[in-house]
Amino acid sequence: MARPLSAAVFTAVLGLSACLLSASPAEAATGAITGLAGKCLDVAGADSADGTPVQLYDCNGTNAQQWTVGSDGTVRALGKCLDVAGNSTADGAKGQLWTCTGGPNQKWTVTAARDIVNPQADKCLDVTDNNSANGTRTQIWSCGGGANQKWTAPASGGDGTSSGFVVSEAQFNQMFPSRSPFYTYSGLTAALGAYPGFATTGSDTVKKQEAAAFLANVSHETGGLVHVVEQNTANYPHYCDWSQWYGCPAGQAAYYGRGPIQLSWNFNYKAAGDALGIDLLGNPWQVENNASVAWKTGLWYWNTQSGPGSMTGHNAMVNGAGFGQTIRSINGSLECDGRNPAQVQSRVNAYQKFTQILGVPPGNNLYC
């Protein structure tokens, strides 16, 4: 288990090609569209009336969140189309549901950067005010690259994935043949919207190398995505630091390791929860009960924490530092510089296997 440079002990690990959102009728893709904070594009109240707001909402699997990408570039739910109100091209024009007319305000393109663009306005589908609260309306806005304009949409073709992630579900299953049913592929892809730069930065090779690096470290930490919670229950009462001003509101023994990075300690639940907009300090059990939340904590560490290293795992991969630096950022103080070469080799073996599955070379600097 790693000790980051901060006093916080963190027991943790840690393209979609540009295409028109279209397919032949037989290839039309249906599924959730996830965005800011991993929430779903949603039809308010599951109401199919013309003019019903299209909003952001917790993913719930209902028909109000099932979007079909049509052969004509439309995006449909409840039998109607995602529409820009008033055929407007202005910043702030609202997204709504409307009877499909074939008009240009109902045409959409998804880019490699996960923007969903209305070509008529040349503007992006946007979550108003970067607000991840349930019920926040969508609009079109000049594309700026913000997280509130990043979406993971169902699509067909390209790299063969239906999620927009560079790892297909079949490849994920090949990587983790004995995984716990908790660690779902859909949970992972739903979490991607929280960190839209993950596995979407750089060349196709770099994108796949980063995905492989993250998943290899996660695999090592969880025994191949087998373990959801820390196995040594005797450790559970040890992860409460009462010196923190907020204490341990969920209880002395509530902050044990959970999820793909085995998130532990009250201060790490607080930091991850604050970053993700989720109350993990008050309800840490979300990490073991909600696959998307669990994956978000892993992506939080990977994209924002350098641990005992000098860079995040994300930066190590996209800036060419190599897989070895991701090991250092996750558990370098216990494994790197000859401290535990067998553990390092285990991580490297997983990374080499996963890059082979994805069809890319592992690159240089594999060891730390």
Residue 191 backbone dihedrals phi, psi, to 5 degrees: -80, -15
* Annotation says 221 is catalytic: yes
Q: Which residue has the tokens 């930065």?
A: 201
Among 210, 221, 230, 335, the one annotated catalytic? 221
Q: What gap in Å lies between CA 343 and CA 220, rounded to an integer?
A: 8
Strands 40-43 and 54-57: antiparallel
Alpha helices in the chain, H assignment, sequence order: 169-175, 185-191, 204-222, 266-276, 286-289, 291-304, 313-318, 323-335, 341-358
Q: What gap in Å lies between CA 30 and CA 79, rounded to an integer?
A: 12
Helix (H, G, I), strand (E, B) or coil at 98: strand
Q: How many residues does the chain have?
A: 368
C-alpha pair distances (Å), 61 with each of 74, 131, 166, 345, 367: 21, 21, 23, 40, 42
SS3 content of the chain, % helix, strand, coil (to 5): 35, 15, 50
Beta strand extents in the chain (DSSP E only): 19-20, 29-31, 40-43, 54-57, 67-69, 75-77, 80-84, 95-98, 109-110, 116-118, 123-127, 138-141
End-to-end CA distance of the chain: 16
Catalytic residues: 221
